[in-house]
Structure 1
Amino acid sequence: MLERLNQAMDHIEEHLGGQIEATELARIAATSEYHLRRMFSALAGMPLSEYVRRRRLTVAGAEVLAGERTLLEVAVRYGYTSGEAFARAFRAMHGIGPGEARRTGAVLDSQPRMSFRLVVEGSSSMKYRIVEREAFAVVGRRTVVPMVHEGVNPAIAEFIRGLGQDTVQRIAALSDREPAGILSATVLHGPSREEGTELTYYHAVVSGAEEVPEDLDVLPLPAGTWAVFTSSGAFPQALQSMWRDVFTQWFPSNPYEIRQGPEILSTRPSPDWTQADAELWIPVARTGG
């Protein structure tokens, strides 16, 4: 998987002055476009489209300073239909317009070329199992919150406090599938996993109930395969590290790709919430590789 991802990165470099299609990058990486975008965002810390844009503007910046082409020629060479559009994008990245940069020989920002490699840290291994599930539903209450990579998400904490014990108990009573009890389910609005990216958060249970109270939100899910990961340690650091390692270590090393669906987290905290056992369910499909 890592070798194919690097081949896709090579393709980007070879076509910075031309058209770069995510579908072609996914073909080179031998995966789906959806999985490629999610994987890249998790590994690189930015969306694939943003990386391509920044690489183009980095190379374009070098050509602006070199002065061998007109600014319009540089703009067209890197996919901009007008000098004005190029100037806006150039200023957004470099903090200065291309004309002024050429006149003054300004210092510009640079997006380094990315490549991926496996880094072995310590001797620990990830604990996981593969589960085949029939169709079920996530049932509870939902809200839209920003993604937070480290520490408690204040928007989620405030949302949960506002639910009230009666609502939480009614939700908990509907739990009849594994993972049992109240859990968190998150649905990304796009492939990006950047800090602050919006996602839909469910404070919910997994249920097969045919009748659900009208005031609760329901997310029906089809039958499919799930990868289930476990962790135990300091809360919330251990589970956030597990979430990170799933995307940066497990997926690149195993013949699975993420499929569309929520990421479901079951957490069993200690009485003082300083420690927790956690179980993370990720929807996956086998790649055959």
Structure 2
Amino acid sequence: MDILKQFNDAVKYMETNLCDEIDVDRAAQIACVTKVSFIRFFSYICGMTLTTYIRCRRLTLAAYELRNSDIKVIDVAMKYGFRNIDTFTRAFTKQHGITPTQARNPYQSLRIYPPVSFHIMIKGAKEMNFKIIETEKIKLRGVSKQFSCTAENRFEQEHIMWGIEQDDYMMRVNKKIPGTWYGIWDRGTYWIAKAEEDACIADTETVYIPEGTYAVFTTNHGGFAGDELPKLRELIFDSWLPDSGYTQAYDYEVEVYHLFTKEEKWKRYYEIWIPVKA
């Protein structure tokens, strides 16, 4: 659709000029709409104002730059359009929950906003809670099944394994649902597992999460895994990964399920771990 291309071209213009003054009139002209229409359409579709989006993108890039270089905080602030370091620090802390200096620590979590792109469904422009971790090898016990799909398309077969085939897999690991569970995709094999001390030894095999560097993403609380994990993975691979400076190290993913009783199901949340290299 031409209108989608025009709006994506307008976003590319803004992305190219995040370190400079962004001319909204020029962006609207690229999108072939009036300035008022461009601002209204953007806010309606993305769920945030254009001004907020531009600020969040600048603060996202500023966080990446502080983490990956020795640039001074004041220089980053000026580069992304903040008049003084105090204004920058307040805005940065409000978005990321940490100060610019703390952001240099690679193990601190950041709240990043990938660039928006317009398709039939809008991608990007959503807050993502992520952190980079270094982990030693983690020993688990679980049961596995060979899937006939790619990592991207695994969730339907996962749903069957966790749900319909629960007695054949999940209940062999531990008959109590609340607690921390792991779903591991390893080049076509999928594991349901728990920490060794929480698993039934007789009916399970040893499986390890390899040591290494992982990007860890966390969902909001209260949702269903079958809804939250596919959405989170799509956002990671369509929006975060292309913009992050990292690549996936190999065809391997870890899902962490933090499950609670029915009375406390609002507490449940999930994580996806992706092995990465810079």
In terms of fraction of residues, the more helix-rich structure is 2
Could you state the TM-score of these two structures normalised by the residue count of structure 2? 0.44
Tell me: higher relative CO, structure 1 or 2? Use CA pairs within 8 A at least 6 residues apart: 1
Structure 1 length normalisation: TM-score? 0.43
Larger radius of gyration: 1
